[in-house]
Amino acid sequence: MMNNVVQYYETIEEDSRFSRNSRKIEFLTTIHTLSKRMPPHAKILDVGSGTGVYALHYAQQHHEVVAIDITPKHIDILKDKAKRQGLPIEAHVANATDLSEYTSDAFDFVLCFGPMYHLTDPSDRNRCIQECLSVLKQGGHLAIAYINKYSIMPMLATRDNTFIRGSVIDKVLDEGVIFEGDEDCFWTDAYFTSPDEIEAFMQQYPVTVTEHVGTDGISHTIQHDVDRLDEAQFEAWMDYHLRTCSERSILGLSSHGLFVCEKN
């Protein structure tokens, strides 16, 4: 249930998510990838904005940004940051499955960077994509972030190996969902998919794929080693990563994936 997700994010420090090398690779790769498609002075809807790392970035780049998130704490933090930085970001508490407040065909770019992680019901996932596309202009781009289910067990092996057991493997690979309170739940209510599955899922919509990358490759899994890289080494690692993140083998290992498509 979505209230589990809201309660989870109300209690964690999401604002520090990209503070370490291994974590900010996801942000840097996303910005790099979207820069190929982002028009100047775009009107952007950030769906599931969190505390606003992308909303703030694009507002600083003089784009017109509207941000929504289901967690009130996130919107409060985002509004405070935008006010302190003098950025005209419109931010609201809202659900990604209902964007009826916004005009059809209104946005040049829609960022859907959090909702797919937590929409455990297939009908909600479909509704989310339908809503995102409804407010997107024809020829505009929708960017969807997802968590790759093939990265979950390697991640758990390095963080909490008590979950390395058959029931968790079955849950992740076969069902792709976990629910808070279940004995096999290592996070909160969550949905995991794969590169092939997200591509097949999006085939039902009137879109053309423009980019599909693994936004952190294996950096999230080997985080401690990546965090120890000095500035020059990290720059070299980023060069390697950006040159390989769209390779299918790397995409299949990445913790986070980014699927970008154009509305037909």
Query: What CATH number is associated with residue 26?
Result: 3.40.50.150
Q: Model's pTM, two decimal places?
A: 0.94
Cα-based distances in Å from 209 to 41, 221, 225, 251:
23, 27, 33, 15
21-40 pLDDT per residue, tens: 888 999 999 999 999 999 99
pLDDT confidence of residue 84: 96
pLDDT at 3: 76
Instruction: Indicate the helix (H) or strand (E) that contains 235.
Output: helix 231-244
Is pLDDT above 60 for 47? yes
pLDDT (0 to 100) of residue 194: 97
pLDDT tens by residue, 188-246: 999 999 999 999 999 999 999 999 999 999 898 888 999 999 999 999 999 999 999 99
Which of 144, 133, 140, 120 shows the shortest CA–CA distance to 215?
A: 144
pLDDT of residue 119: 96
Largest CA distance in the chain: 51
pLDDT tens per residue across span 168-179: 999 999 999 999
Q: How far apart are CA 264 and CA 258, in angstroms?
A: 19
State the chain's mean pLDDT as an integer: 94
Residue 227 belongs to domain spanning = 2-263
pLDDT of residue 12 exceeding 80? no
Query: Structurally, how many domains does the chain consist of?
Result: 1
Residue 183 token pair: 């004995």
**Residue 137's closest CA among 7, 11, 2, 263?**
263
